[in-house]
Amino acid sequence: MEEILFTKEEQELIDLIKYFRDMVLINEETPPYNRLILQEEIDYLNSEITTIIQFAKGKTEYRKAKELEHYNKWNTKIDQKCPWCKKMVFSNALGEIKMDDGFTYSQYFCPSCHMNFEGSEPNNNNDMILFTEKFLAEMLKKGKGGRVNYEINGISFEQMKKRRANIEGLKEKVKKSMKENKEIEEANNEFMAYVLNELIRLRIAKKKFITENDIQE
């Protein structure tokens, strides 16, 4: 079976709709006219469920990619030199921080000297593109002084040139995916607003239904 990733809200809404749908009872005693109305109600609730499933299905690939991106960001262990005590640290990111340059970096902890330090380059592609361009521009401007400065941070000019070549290709991809992601996010937000509205309405309806039936008993 094809896997569909639902958000917590979508799942709860589906459960609530099913709860109300299963309450609609049609049997031999139901008069034909009522039968029609009740069947319409069931059809409507079923179509609501289908809408949610279809939406989630269309977004599953994107949601999976996002989950993977998130997983990798926090679970990929890398080997790097602690800038304080110069010992090698093999660790995954424990946090992230936006620095003065406006880029976001992963944060690591050095078990030898018990200090936190930031990765030597941004932890996301969007920042990485600007970072590389800025780096190369500054290197050219400052000449050797600039180069030494960056090498202290553990990135060599040669590495950065190589990085840039890779990134040139990545740039178009990121641009494209940023545009696509933005469109997906917008559609997602719009749908989530609808899901939340329905959720609130049905939560209240269920609560009211349960309370009223408690009183009658």
- How many amino acids of this chain bind Zn ion (CB under 5 A)? 6
Q: Which stretch binds Zn ion (CB under 5 A): 17-25, 27-35, 64-72, 104-112?
A: 104-112
Give 19 or 109: the residue with its C-beta nearer to Zn ion: 109
Map tokens 């029609």 to a residue: 36
Q: Does 85 bind Zn ion (CB under 5 A)?
A: yes
Q: How far is CA 62 from CA 171, 177, 180, in A?
A: 19, 10, 10
Q: Which stretch binds Zn ion (CB under 5 A): 93-101, 102-110, 136-144, 203-211?
A: 102-110
Contact 20, 42 (CB under 8 A): no
Q: Does 88 bind Zn ion (CB under 5 A)?
A: no
Binders of Zn ion among 106-145, rule CB under 5 A?
Answer: 110, 112-113
Strand ranges (DSSP E) for the chain?
78-81, 88-91, 95-98, 104-110, 115-118
| Residue 130: Cβ within 10 Å count | 13
Q: Does 84 bind Zn ion (CB under 5 A)?
A: yes
Give 109 or 209: the residue with its C-beta nearer to Zn ion: 109
Contact 16, 202 (CB under 8 A): yes
Q: Applying CB under 5 A, which residues contact Zn ion?
A: 82, 84-85, 110, 112-113
